[in-house]
Amino acid sequence: MELFFNPFDNLLCILLGISFTVWFTLLLVFIIVPAIFGVSFGIRRLYMKTLLKIFEWATLRIERGAKEKNHHLYKPYSNAIIAREPTSLEEEIKEIRRSGSNKDLDSASEFEMSDIFYFARRGVESIMDDEVTKRFSAEELESWNLLTRSNNNFTYISLRLTVLWGLGLLIRYGFLLPLRYEPSDLTETACCCICFHYRMKNFLSEKVHLMCYRICVRALTAIITYHDSENKPKNGGICVANHTSPIDVIILASDGCYAMVGQIHGGLMGVIQRSMVKACPHVWFERSEVKDRHLVAKRLSDHVQDKSKLPILIFPEGTCINNTSVMMFKKGSFEIGATVYPVAIKYDPRFGDAFWNSSKFGMVSYLLRMMSSWAIVCSVWYLPPMSREEGEDAVQFANRVKAAIARQGGLVDLLWDGGLKREKVKDTFKEEQQKLYSKMLVGTQEDRSRS
Amino acid sequence: MGSRASTLLREEEIEEIKKETGFSHSQITRLYSRFTSLDKGENGTLSREDFQRIPELAINPLGDRIINAFFPEGEDQVNFRGFMRTLAHFRPIEDNEKNKNPTASEPLNSRSNKLLFAFRLYDLDRDDKISRDELLQVLRMMVGVNISDEQLGSIADRTIQEADTNGDSCISFQEFIKASLVEANINNTSFNHLTKKIKILMGAFFINATEANLLNKLA
């Protein structure tokens, strides 16, 4: 019996040993070494191109399948559900009234029963499709990227497609996921150890940080294109960017060193935060201090005034938005008076959706999804620095920066507050609408009394 | 991983809704996706809070009345069928529908059904009459605190005076139709422009002259 198993055992051991060595060498050669030196082999770009071709084929296949069944495919951007005209309250009500009677406008009565048509129509339009709620859930794609999580039209179309999907599933969970999990695990422990035990000189700590972040980036198979690096944030400035997921931090930090701002957490996060502070000064707040805006503002302005300290990285939206739009920037970071370096981050949704829907997924399941997507492809644009101009208040300055970021990233610029994800909208907006309408009614009265 | 809309809506259901409301297959799938994204409780129905979560609706002065229109008498939940039935009122009237079988029941998006929807926004107690109080309530919702009670009262009185033909100081559905009716300009460019655009369009309250004559006969 023993004799029978021994050679088999031996063979198994040898095989395991070989595969482990191969694995480790691959890891070293393709991930860790390039990260240390900051070079790239170009393999990831090739991977991207191949994937795109496959996705196109898959989408064509689905379209053909749908046509056979005589359905129209649901395409979120080319088939909008409603056509909205951007007109104002006054214009529309005048339009309804004008077409409502053959009297001419001057002698029209102040109030018409048909005025409610405008509000009813606007209301039902917003029920069918509104600008805000769809920013808090993952973006819908036009083409299918072989992930069931992003497809509305997925029904059984053809054997080939299903096989391809199955293969994709296997590759993602069996090959890519473990490949990514190992280095990220390694880096985390390495970072913690190094930072915690050694008080390093600045330049050395910079190098270590960059290296660690670069390993993380390769671990996630993030393919990042940096544009306009001459505008990279300098010491004593504030870097603002649109926020889509926690990965934003890794992406920006792998190309430059920043001081982070945030709440002190307990547990493992707290340990990491404290050890990061030893290596270079970040600005961490106690939970109670966050409520005190003046204290926060003072600490931030102290930090920026010291030119030797790293630029602060802030996400003024305050919450994760799904990367199709930029929502209201909180004015706090724009009141300090430092130079602002805007950065626009745009993810390519075809390869994997980076948006963290915190009400649906916890951190762990989010990371799992990230690591089992095809890749994370994004573009980062460093915009030229901006400062507050004469006569501009913090809110206007914030809006100006927001508009610049939205323009560069191809995102929709919205005035709505990202906090609407969790909170109700303020009544002041409704009161504005009521005021506008009242002006229409009362205004006519004033004209009448004048004539 | 999120479950996607079209896998939960069966083909038979889609066909039924198509017959009842006249929406196309892709419009129904699209609206079902919207329905599920609004349904935070994931129980297949929407409550009033789910609607209130839409910021643009929450700031609409008539928001509460519009939300009310979706819920049948005395109920607090609306399912997808009910949702579609109410939305069907806003589907534009296509020309090929006019020549359909005259004995078939009136489509949900017929002109009089659209006007009935608007009428019901005023008529809260469903007694088929808009009383002075009901009119005042809606006016107050639309103007907020910016107009005094007396002024508002006089606006309401004037409106009822102009619209009321049978002298009962209330506005019936027929009187409402006449009061808000259009002898529309068939060459009205915005109307033509709208009908050229596709999918669901609002602005379904424009009526052409021949229909106006028909409705006049109802009075």
Mean pLDDT of A341-355: 86
pLDDT at A3: 55
Question: Shortest Cα distance from B17 to chain A (angstroms)?
Answer: 15
Nearest by CB to residue B155, choosing from A73, A110, A149, is A110
B167 CB near a chain A CB, below 8 Å? no
Reported ipTM: 0.78
* Interior/surface letters B33-68, b for 16+ CB within 10 angstroms, e for the rest: bbbbebbeeeeebbbeebbebbbbbbbbbbbebbbe
Nearest by CB to residue B118, choosing from A116, A420, A425, is A116
**pLDDT confidence band for A211 (50 / 70 / 90):** confident
Are the beta carbons of A99 and B145 separated by less than 8 Å? no
Query: Does A244 have pLDDT greater than 80?
Result: yes
- Domain ranges across chain B: 2-215
pLDDT at A400: 92
Mean pLDDT of A101-118: 62
Cβ–Cβ < 8 Å for A93, B61:
no
B25 interaction partners in chain A (CB closer than 8 Å): 71-72
Q: Residue written as tokens 């809506």?
A: B9
Are the beta carbons of B199 and A79 separated by less than 8 Å? yes
* Interior/surface letters A141-165, b for 16+ CB within 10 angstroms, e for the rest: bebbbbbebbbbbbeebeeebeebb
Query: Does A343 have pLDDT greater than 90?
Result: yes
pLDDT at A364: 76
Mean pLDDT of B182-204: 35
Mean pLDDT of A309-323: 86
Half-sphere exposure of B213 (CA within 13 A, CB side): 2
| DSSP β-bridge partners for residue B79 | B45
Determine which of A65-69, A75-79, A107-111, A423-427 has the lowest per-residue pLDDT on average. A75-79
**pLDDT confidence band for A85 (50 / 70 / 90):** low
**Beta strand ranges found along chain B (DSSP E):** 45-46, 78-79, 129-130, 171-172
Question: What distance lies between CA B179 and its chain's CA centroid?
Answer: 17
B57 CB near a chain A CB, below 8 Å? yes
Are the beta carbons of A119 and B66 separated by less than 8 Å? yes
A34-83: pLDDT as tens digits: 666 666 667 777 877 888 888 788 777 777 776 776 655 555 554 456 65
Nearest by CB to residue B197, choosing from A83, A101, A133, is A83
pTM of the model: 0.72
Mean pLDDT of A340-361: 84
**pLDDT confidence band for A407 (50 / 70 / 90):** very high
pLDDT at B201: 34
A353 interaction partners in chain B (CB closer than 8 Å): none
Cβ-Cβ contacts under 8 Å between A and B: the total is: 195
Name the range with the highest mean pLDDT among A259-273, A353-367, B121-135.
Answer: B121-135
Question: Shortest Cα distance from A404 to chain B (angstroms)?
Answer: 25
Closest CA to A421 of A190, A201, A134: A134
Question: Shortest Cα distance from B56 to chain A (angstroms)?
Answer: 6
Query: Does B11 have pLDDT greater than 90?
Result: no
d(CA B206, CA B203): 7
When the candidates are 3.30.70.260, 3.40.366.10, 1.10.238.10, 3.90.1300.10, the CATH number that belongs to B2-215 is: 1.10.238.10
pLDDT at B190: 40
- The residues, ordered by sequence, that sit 6+ positions from A316 with a Cβ below 8 Å of its Cβ are A240, A329, A330, A332, A333, A334, A398
Name the range with the highest mean pLDDT among A271-275, A343-347, B190-194, B201-205.
Answer: A343-347
Q: Residue written as tokens 């009670």?
A: B149
- Between B51 and B100, the more confident residue is B51
Nearest CA in chain A to B188: A99
A125 interaction partners in chain B (CB closer than 8 Å): 202
Burial tier of A242 (Cβ tally within 10 Å: 0-12, 13-18, 19+)? buried
Mean pLDDT of A417-430: 83
B64-106: pLDDT as tens digits: 999 998 988 888 899 999 999 888 888 777 655 554 555 556 7
Joined together, the tokens standing for residue A135 give: 């920013």
A149 interaction partners in chain B (CB closer than 8 Å): 1-2
Question: Shortest Cα distance from B50 to chain A (angstroms)?
Answer: 10
Tell me the CA distances in angstroms from A181 to A184, A374, B109, B204, one per residue in order.
5, 14, 56, 56
Q: Which residues, numbered 120 to 139 in chain B, qualify as contacts with chain A under a Cβ-Cβ cut-off of 8 Å?
A: 121-122, 138-139
Query: Does A337 have pLDDT greater than 50?
Result: yes
Determine which of B81-90, B111-120, B130-139 has the lowest per-residue pLDDT on average. B111-120
Are the beta carbons of B142 and A123 separated by less than 8 Å? no
pLDDT at A229: 86
Helix (H) or strand (E) holding A378: strand A376-382
Q: Which residues, numbered 95 to 114 in chain B, qualify as contacts with chain A under a Cβ-Cβ cut-off of 8 Å?
A: none
One-letter amino acid of A114:
S
